[in-house]
Structure 1
Amino acid sequence: MGFIKRRLERFKLDPPRVLALGFGSLILIGAILLNLPIATQNGESIGFINALFTSASAVCVTGLVVVNTGEFWSLFGQVVIILLIQMGGLGFMTMATIGALVIGKKITLKERLVIKEQLNQETMSGLVKLTKYVILSTFIIEGMGALLLSTRFIPIYGTVKGIWFSIFHAISAFCNAGFDLTGDSIAPFVGDFTINMTISALIILGGLGFYVYIDISRNRSFKKLSLHSKLVLSITGVLLLVGMIIILLIEYNNPLTLKPLNIFEKLIASFFQSVVPRTAGYYSVNLAGLYDTTVFLMIILMFIGGSPGSTGGGIKTTTFGTLILTTIGVIKGNKDIVAFRKRISYDVINRSLAISTVGMILILGVSFILTVTEPANFLDVLFETTSAFATVGLTRGLTPNLTEFGKVMIILTMYIGRVGPLTMAYVFARKSKAGNFRYSEGNIMVG
């Protein structure tokens, strides 16, 4: 009994395991609530697997859905979904901190360790202050987004429905979730500048990471920003611009996507479709009609995802940037990997390699299994799996047609993608005991 008690205590004190368990518990609670008859329009239970899938998609801020969110779920169900999105986007420990601060409870060391893991911080210094900043900035940005969206949604849907649509989509966009109430995402508003740019701005801000906000507020000059912020802003800008140009060029004369639009609408749609693979599952054109080249580009953008400490998923922009810089450095024969006159540590490089490798193995492994169990072509399966892992929520129509087994596989993929592939690896891995010796070096031929 003493051994079991010690193991349980160790389990509770391990931040990655607490984080994984917290998100898992939140998903389960959400599934129970969404499985209630009151959560649906017709008063009938959706079934536990479908409720679990929807809850996992909301908590993991993914956006993959098995039913039409606006038509199938009642107001109760929609409120549950948006609350799960908000809690999943901010993180369950951030929400728990809100409650603790409201009742005046002190944040313990164990809780600070979990917050540190969740916000992807290097130290525990100023964690509570950072959490307050995260909460305040989130509500301000979402409020401004809802206000802008209301200028378009209220005239279209009326006051009450328009306000609800504005709030729902502002939270969903900032948390990079991609849930919508229109039934066809942003496709009905493909040429609407206000709606497209507002949602795009919310997605980009949600995907930058809260540390970048703080850095910019303190150092208003790009030269004074930290290496992390410089990499995040640079890589995000390049990916958005390159993605927009390639999508515009490839899809320009595609009769199923951009061809019917005027040049202004084509530019808006191309930019929007470049933004959304950054882990937000909205769309403004027919994804099933995209050329395979564009689909493959979007898979790459989804795999990269947002930035550390943000509401986005994927391997993260800085991980991708580190791998590119390392590759360039190796080709040039440089001893150190340098970016913006700062040396990148080998620990960061090793973590980047581990995150990318685990993510790639997971995506390819799940895709391989789904090609056996699901009646779909490989590109659509790979698109769906990458979308789930990177918590994007885009689909080429496969999600509603998944088998029960396929849904479970996608649920697990979304969960691992939200918690983090390396964090999940830490949960199950046994830590090696450091010794006072090193093995002799051996040579391996590569390349």
Structure 2
Amino acid sequence: MTVIFLYTVLFDAYSISAFCNAGFDLIGIRTPFSSLTSYSVQPIVNLVIMVLIVVGGIGFLTWEDIKNHKWHLKKYRMQSKVIFMVTGLLIFLPALYFFYFEFSNVPLMERVWVSLFQSVTPRTAGFNTADLTLLSEVGQMLIIILMLIGGSPGSTAGGMKTTTLAVLVSSALSVFRKKEHTHFFGRRIPDDTIKNAATVFLMYIVLFLVGGMVISSTEDIPLMTALFETASAIGTVGLSLGITPDLGLVSHIILICLMFLGRVGGLTLIFATLSEKKLNGSKYPQEKITVG
């Protein structure tokens, strides 16, 4: 009876952690960094955890659309449509890669579950059902990218957000197509939104790279391993290749700062630290500069 109670409490905690995209690993107490690897072939565990991660990561405004409009997708906010599209792609495409290139030696059903789970969890739940240290560098880099992107605005997830990626990609496509404006689903995106997206992206990339290079140099560890830790920190994910407890004080401070900055959010940090300037009618003379 006691064992049943303990497992009930344990999986209640996992459910909360999954929905809140927290990534606290209680099962890892038995075997360090094991996470949910013992349940890689359990459909119910995999499905429930993945659904909770996605539900917590798509944002409460999106759930308001689902509540109000049900299956009438045309009535949804443009933001909700973008979130659905990007979330679906970021689950499906990485899962295909993991299925064909990373877990090809795993039995079919387990291969399906571990591929799906490893594509969902970096966004930003922090559980794993496979040993991440056994992934190729390409596989680890893909997880790093997913951790940096994270979930959606107004959700429990961290990262630079799916909408930030969507705006930047759409902006690039509008340049390639020589379109004057960036748009989604017949709606134009304001220029200020594109600037904010570029600022958030640059901030995350700089902090992630600089932090990883400093940790790699300080601890004398491979750069990819250090970048995995910094991406997990700034994305507030919780995944690790197992080196975190052995890092020194400087590296721990860097990871703590990255976790704080990632949780506060890019735009919140920028707007809080920079004083608002009063607008005036004067502008500097305009001159073109060649880029690219």
Q: Output the TM-score relative to the length of structure 1.
A: 0.63
Cα deviation 1:27-58 (Å, max 9, x = unaligned): xxxxxxxxxxxxxxxxxxxxxxxxxxxxxxxx
- Counterpart CA distance in 2 for 1:266 and 1:446 is 44
Question: Which AA in structure 2 matches 1:241?
Answer: F
Cα deviation digits, residues 375-395 of structure 1 (max 9, x gap): 310001011101100111111
SS at match of 1:443: coil
How far does the alpha carbon of each residue in 1:67-92 deviate from its partner, in whole angstroms, 9 at most, with x for none? xxxxxxxxxxxxxxxxxxxxxxxxxx
Query: How far apart, CA to CA, are the structure 2 residues paired with 1:346 and 1:392?
Result: 30
Q: 2:78 aligns with which of 211, 227, 233?
A: 227
Contact persistence 1:304–1:315 (CA under 8 A): yes
1:370 to 212, 215, 219: 215
Match of 2:31 in 1: none
Give the 5 Å matches for 1:299-378: 299-378=144-223
Q: Name the residue aligned to 1:108.
A: none
Aligned pairs for 1:247-258 (under 5 A) are 247-253=98-104
Give the alignment partner of residue 57 of structure 2, picking from 194, 200, 207: 207
Q: Note if contact 1:376-1:398 (Cα within 8 Å) is conserved in structure 2.
A: no
Residues 326-360 of structure 1: per-residue CA shift (max 9 Å, x gap)? 00001100011111111111111111111101111
The residue aligned with 1:105 is none
Residue by residue over 1:243-295, the C-alpha shift from the partner in whole angstroms, topping out at 9 and shown as x without a partner, is: 10011111133xxxxx2x32011100100000011111100011111111101
Q: Which amino acid aligns with 1:195?
A: V
Structure 2: distance between partners of 1:225 and 1:421: 26
For 1:142-170, what per-residue CA distance to the aligned partner results, in whole angstroms no more than 9, with x for missing partners?
Answer: xxxxxxxxxxxx9xx83210221121111
Matches within 5 A, 1:122-201: 158-183=3-28, 184-201=34-51
Map 1:350-429 → 2, pairs under 5 A: 350-429=195-274
> What TM-score results when the alignment is normalised by the length of structure 2?
0.95
- Does the CA-based 8 Å contact 2:69-2:75 persist in structure 1? yes
Q: What percentage of residue pairs aligned between the two structures are identical?
A: 35
Contact in 1 for aligned 2:236/2:259 (Cα 8 Å): yes
- Per-residue deviation, 1:433: 2.7
Could you tell me how far apart the structure 1 residues matched to 2:197 and 2:85 are? Answer: 18
Gaps of at least 5 residues in structure 2 are: 29-33
- Distance in 2 (CA, whole Å) between partners of 1:327 and 1:369 is 31
What's the RMSD between the two structures over aligned residues? 1.3
Q: What is the letter of the counterpart of residue 223 of structure 1?
A: K
Other-structure match for 1:140:
none
Distance in 1, matches of 2:140 and 2:108, equals 22
Structure 1 stretches of 4+ moved >4 Å: none
1:305/1:316 contact within 8 Å kept: yes
Distance 2:147 2:11 in 1: 26
Does the Cα contact within 8 Å between 1:358 and 1:422 map onto a contact in 2?
no
Q: Distance in 2 between matches of 1:367 and 1:166?
A: 33
* Deviation at residue 179 of structure 1 after TM alignment: 1.0
Q: Which residue of 2 aligns with 1:240?
A: 91
Q: Deviations over 1:371-421 (max 9, x none)?
A: 221231000101110110011111111211111111111000000000012
